[in-house]
């Protein structure tokens, strides 16, 4: 059974996951939830399904691969990369680069990014 990636019907933070899956040639179900127009942004389609998926932290994006279920775009990217042999960390340098990349992805503000990178 193909894995499922669930997110709003926009690019947003799930787009990186979609691009990685496409790059790897992974067939998956791209579940996109409709968002209503401003100012209310109706989320009823997602809310109707949210708690029936069996997610520990029901949020978007989510990734379901068989019995394995997770949320959070960075964790999903790491899982997909590891699952397909792209995450081979064997030394201090490789781990340091990976930690810096995670900090870069997790912190959206450029000034905060610089501060985080200086702490590493």
By 3-state DSSP, what share of the chain in percent is helix, strand and coil, each rounded to 5? 50, 15, 35
For the chain, domains (ranges, CATH) are 4-87 (1.20.1050.130), 89-120 (no CATH)
pTM value? 0.76
> How many CB atoms lie under 10 A from the CB of residue 88?
8
> pLDDT by residue (tens digit) across 38-82?
888 999 999 999 999 999 999 999 999 999 999 998 889 989 988
Q: Is the pLDDT of residue 105 over 80?
A: no
Q: What percent of the chain has pLDDT over 90?
A: 54
């Amino acid at each position: 059974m193909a894995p499922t990636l669930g997110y709003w019907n926009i690019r947003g933070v799930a787009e990186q996951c979609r691009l990685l899956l496409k790059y790897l040639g992974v067939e998956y179900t791209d579940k996109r939830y409709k968002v209503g127009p401003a100012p209310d942004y109706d989320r009823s389609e997602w809310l109707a399904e949210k708690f029936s998926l069996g997610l520990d932290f029901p949020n978007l994006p989510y990734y379901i691969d068989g019995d394995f279920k997770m949320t959070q775009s960075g964790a999903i990217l790491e899982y997909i990369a590891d699952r397909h042999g792209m995450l081979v960390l064997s030394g201090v340098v490789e781990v340091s680069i990976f930690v810096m990349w995670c900090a870069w992805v997790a912190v959206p503000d450029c000034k905060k990014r610089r501060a985080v990178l200086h702490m590493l």
